[in-house]
């Protein structure tokens, strides 16, 4: 592995997007053996498919279609997403996330010290249980440690932030060393699954986890850190921008499934419901019950299943007189309902 690159030697690399052809050219330039086969790294919740190690769009699409039930595979570094999507347009979709990259020559250490917690690697079954509890609180997939690609085969490393006073896990992040994973000639790395306990009162946990991963990979002689963030996650983007991350011109593709549904369908009419009504509607969707949103602002919706229809307002339903009473009590709502029926 070559030593850490300088900003001068990186000037041409920064404008180039990852691709299979470029990767093979870098292998040839370095005089190293190219990877014998496409790389898929299991992270405990699904696989990371290293897109630019796949020689053609068909092989990448086929591997995405091999996704296991209950898991979420991610194909990153896809140079020509339209060609991959064309292989199976009904089952694959373009992930609405931005890929960001931090060249370590641009990194500046923190000037502020955050106290009250420490960063360490996941070490025990209790740690995995704590991480999974945290991920579930953030609506993320839990990790099955038995499925992880082994470290010596290029598998990921999970780190946790632990409260010094209570020993509680208050944050977690996953890092992947690309040189170990697929002999990356550019000596890159990537960050995944950053999460902080929503009940955590200590400031700076997310920033410290990111900085720890950056400095860890810098100490290993790597050149940059990549990450993927949803395009509308303004809070996370603000943090990454402060740390020096910049947009990278590449794409990510995933398979359509129940886990990814909000990403390829977008917000439905239920997005206008209040939290109480939305919980019921989302549970109905999970159970295969059809939902018709009658008035999102008023929390009115109709559930249909097996030829039976029940009108609801939050937890109230037509099974009692509660809905009729609500409609009569709110004159604006009464007028709206009557107008919809032509009266």
Residue 189 CA neighbour count, 13 Å, CB half:
27
Placement of tokens 């890159």 in the chain: 188
* Sequential DSSP letters for 157-190: EEEEEEETTT--EEEEEEEEEHHHHH--TT-EEE
**Res 75: pLDDT:** 97
3-state SS class at 216: helix
- Work out the average pLDDT over 261-283: 83
**Inter-residue contact 266 to 258 (CB < 8 Å):** no
3-state SS class at 162: strand
Specify the higher pLDDT residue, 32 or 77.
77
Phi-psi group of 269: left, alpha or beta (phi > 0 → left; psi -120 to 50 → alpha; rest → beta):
alpha
- Work out the average pLDDT over 242-261: 92
**Inter-residue contact 33 to 182 (CB < 8 Å):** no
> What is the token pair recorded at 328?
């009569």
Residue spans in the chain of domains classed CATH 3.40.630.30: 13-265
What's the pLDDT band for 314 if we cut at 50, 70, 90? confident
Superfamily grouping for domain 13-265: Gcn5-related N-acetyltransferase (GNAT) (3.40.630.30)
109-141 pLDDT per residue, tens: 998 889 999 999 999 999 999 999 999 999 899
Residue 297 has pLDDT above 70, yes or no: yes
Residue 228 has pLDDT above 50, yes or no: yes
**Inter-residue contact 304 to 297 (CB < 8 Å):** no
Residue 61 CA neighbour count, 13 Å, CB half:
18
User: Is-above-0.75 flag for pTM?
Assistant: yes
Residues in the chain: 343
Buried b (16+ CB within 10 A) or exposed e, 60-88: bbebbeebeeebbbbbbbbbebeebbebe
What ranges in the chain are assigned the alpha helix state H?
Answer: 20-30, 57-64, 81-85, 125-137, 178-182, 205-219, 234-243, 261-265, 275-286, 322-329, 331-340
- Work out the average pLDDT over 86-90: 95
β-strand 246-247 against 224-230: which pairing, if any? unpaired
Rounded Cα distance between 235 and 228, Å, is 14
**Res 155: pLDDT:** 95
163-206 pLDDT per residue, tens: 999 999 999 999 999 999 998 989 999 999 999 999 999 999 99
Rounded Cα distance between 160 and 121, Å, is 6
- Work out the average pLDDT over 298-305: 88
Residue 7 has pLDDT above 70, yes or no: no
Rounded Cα distance between 38 and 278, Å, is 42
Task: Count CB-CB contacts under 10 A for residue 281.
Answer: 22
Placement of tokens 């990186």 in the chain: 10
**Res 261: pLDDT:** 81
56-69 pLDDT per residue, tens: 999 999 999 999 99
**Res 336: pLDDT:** 77
Specify the higher pLDDT residue, 130 or 5.
130
């Amino acid at each position: 592995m070559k030593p850490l690159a300088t900003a001068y030697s990186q000037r041409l690399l920064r404008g180039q997007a990852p691709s299979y052809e470029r990767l093979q050219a870098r292998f040839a330039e370095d005089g190293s053996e190219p990877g014998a086969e496409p790389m898929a790294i299991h992270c405990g919740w699904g696989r990371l498919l290293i897109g630019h190690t796949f020689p053609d769009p068909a092989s990448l699409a086929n591997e995405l279609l091999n996704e296991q039930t209950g898991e979420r595979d991610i194909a990153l570094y896809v140079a020509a997403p339209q060609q991959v999507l064309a292989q199976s347009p009904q089952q694959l979709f373009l992930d609405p996330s931005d890929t960001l990259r931090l060249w370590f020559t641009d990194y500046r250490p923190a000037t502020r010290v955050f106290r009250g917690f420490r960063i360490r690697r996941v070490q025990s079954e209790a740690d995995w249980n704590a991480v999974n509890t945290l991920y579930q609180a953030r609506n993320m997939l839990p990790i099955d440690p038995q499925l992880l690609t082994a470290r010596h085969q290029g598998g990921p490393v999970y780190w946790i932030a632990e409260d010094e006073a209570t020993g509680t896990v208050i944050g977690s992040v996953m890092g992947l060393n690309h040189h170990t994973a697929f002999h990356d000639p550019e000596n890159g790395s990537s960050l995944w699954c950053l999460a902080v306990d929503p009940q955590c009162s200590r400031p700076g946990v997310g920033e410290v986890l990111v900085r720890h991963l950056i400095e860890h990979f810098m100490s290993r002689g790597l050149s940059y850190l990549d990450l993927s963030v949803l395009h509308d996650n303004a809070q996370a983007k603000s943090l990454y921008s402060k740390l020096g991350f910049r947009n990278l011109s590449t794409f990510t593709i995933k398979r359509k499934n129940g886990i990814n549904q909000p990403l390829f369908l977008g917000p439905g009419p239920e997005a206008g419901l209040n939290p109480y009504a939305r919980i019921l509607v989302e549970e109905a969707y999970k159970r295969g019950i059809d939902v018709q949103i009658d008035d999102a602002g008023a929390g009115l919706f109709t559930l249909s299943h097996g030829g039976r229809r029940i009108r609801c307002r939050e937890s109230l339903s037509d099974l009692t007189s509660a809905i009729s009473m609500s409609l009569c009590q709110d004159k604006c709502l009464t007028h709206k309902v009557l107008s919809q029926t032509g009266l």
